[in-house]
Amino acid sequence: MTVAELHPNITHWRERVDLAVAFRWTARLNMHEGVANHFSLAVNDDGTRFLMNPNQKHFARIKASDLLEIDANNPDALQGPDAPDPTAWGLHGGVHRHCPHARCVMHVHSIFATVLASLADSTLPPIDQNCATFYDRVVVDDGYGGLAFEDEGARCAALLTDPKKKVMVMGNHGVLVIGDSVADTFNRLYYFERAAETYIRALQTGQPLRVLPHEIAEKTAQELEQYPEQDVRHLAELKAILDEEGSAYAT
């Protein structure tokens, strides 16, 4: 009997497993924030129903069967023993209500992205291939207004209307990444953190930066967007590693 057969009343099993992998690997990379931060994945056509991690559970322990299914249009979701974190509801609910192209939403306070978000100028120049991936594809939020309750979530969602821009550097806060699937979004989150690390470490040298010209940076970004199946294979390899280790993520 498969794990899915053992949980006949739990819907969207494949999506749950993918999301559980992303939680586990984010913890492995120390890109998490203990029992804070949130990932979500839309499971209906307009994106208003979504899977999300339960309140105050460590990323390293999240299993597919733990994930909550939330209705972004139902404020009663904040009531009861299985209520999501109110800031998760505010931020992710806002994005899923207002940005149907954001099928998956990942928000973390990862170290280097948050350092970038703490600078007066939080733009990421194209100084290497990873940084060029995000050339003209990042929105910087300069209007931090405190914890991401419902009003703050709606304000942030309003900054993500351009489908080309799938990363938001949340000034004084962290980073939010959107995508078409768990694999697409996690891959983007991973490489944005790597790009931010390269940039921050380059700044630490105090030496002039070697910035790519516009034409090459844009060409590189387009080539990487069209690179076949990297996101899918990346997630599949993470599953394989966790499976070899006997992880319970897919239970």
Torsion of CA 79, 81, 83, 87, to 10 degrees: 100
pLDDT for 109: 97
Domains defined along the chain, listed by start: 3-244 (3.40.225.10)
* Residue 6 confidence (pLDDT): 52
Lookup: tokens for 25: 């690997």
pLDDT in tens, 131-164: 999 999 999 999 887 776 768 888 889 999 999 9
Residue 116, classified by CB atoms within 10 Å of its CB into exposed (0-12), middle (13-18) or buried (19+), is buried
Closest to 50 (Cα-Cα) out of 64, 73, 69, 22: 69
Low-confidence ranges of the chain (pLDDT < 70): 1-9, 148, 150
pLDDT digits (tens, 9 = 90+) for 10-25: 899 999 999 999 999 9
Which of 91, 107, 101 is closest to 37 using CA atoms?
Answer: 107
- Per-residue confidence (pLDDT) for residue 1, from 0 to 100: 42
| 103 within 8 A of 134, measured Cβ to Cβ | no
**Helix, strand, or coil (residue 116):** helix
Contact at 8 Å (CB) between 36 and 109? yes
- By the 8 A CB rule, do 131 and 117 touch? no
Write the CA distances from 155 to 144, 158, 189, 248, integer angstroms: 9, 5, 21, 37
Question: Which token pair is 22?
Answer: 């992303």
Per-residue pLDDT, 7: 56
Model pTM score? 0.94
Distance CA 219, CA 224 (A): 9
